[in-house]
Amino acid sequence: MDQVTYKGLTFEPYITNDTIQNRIAEIAREINKQYAGKQPLFLCVLNGAFPFAADLFRAIDIDAEISFIRLKSYEGTSTTGVVKQVLGLSENLEGRDVIVVEDIIDTGNTIKKLVADLKEKNPASIRIATLLFKPESLQCEVNPDYVGFAIPPKFIIGFGLDLDGLARNLRDIYVLHDDNL
């Protein structure tokens, strides 16, 4: 894996697609076991979570459904602090076992707002699956149930994660080179 450059910023290889896929398979096995006999609704938070949600959902072998919601708070490499709901949810969540699927939890503001909104729809349960988690960056209390990788507070791209819309199509995950900071 080589370095990649977007908008004049250099990123180093960080997590390979093989490593990502192995971890997703482990999380799927856990979900398959814990939700046996139930029919969970996976709720993919667009845009960034779509590759993780697709690979995770394909590895689920119990009956399950998937739906999508679009939230946005980042511009460039930093949060705007405002979580916008761009595309709403049409499903009835009453009594459903919901698994929210995120690509990353950073400040925690996005997932906190989403979970608070979802709770008002009276689901039977809500759990959070996130591919990446930056515990040192949290600005609120959030405890994801399924975490792919806990990482330090550095900006990353690839496998769904973007820099102003670009780099989501990278197969692997890359981290912003320290010299850029």
Q: Rule CB under 6 A: which residues touch ligand PRP? A: 45, 47-49, 71-74, 79, 102-110, 162
Residue 156: contacted member of ligand PRP, ligand GUN, none (CB under 5 to 8 Å, by partner type): ligand GUN
Instruction: Pick the closest to residue 98 from 74, 66, 70 (CA basis).
Output: 66
Q: Which is nearer to ligand PRP, 96 or 102 (CB)?
A: 102
Candidate residues 106, 109, 118, 144; the one interacting with ligand GUN per rule CB under 6 A: 106
Candidate residues 111, 156, 170, 173; the one interacting with ligand GUN per rule CB under 6 A: 156
- DSSP, collapsed to helix, strand or coil, labels residue 138 as coil
Residue with tokens 């993780």: 52
Q: Which is nearer to ligand PRP, 62 or 115 (CB)?
A: 115
Whole-angstrom distance, CA of residue 88 vs CA of residue 21: 29
* 47 φ/ψ angles, rounded to the nearest 5 degrees: -90, -35
Binding mask 65-104 for ligand GUN (x = CB under 6 A): ---------x-----------------------------x
Q: Which is nearer to ligand PRP, 32 or 135 (CB)?
A: 135
Strands of 76-163 (E only): list them. Answer: 78-87, 97-105, 125-133, 146-150, 156-157
133 binds ligand GUN (CB under 6 A): no
Residues belonging to the active site: 106
* Cβ contacts of 118 within 8 Å, gap of 6 or more: 43, 93, 98, 100, 126
Q: Which is nearer to ligand PRP, 41 or 45 (CB)?
A: 45
Find the DSSP H helices in the chain.
17-34, 50-58, 109-119
Give the shortest CB-33-to-ligand PRP separation in angstroms: 27
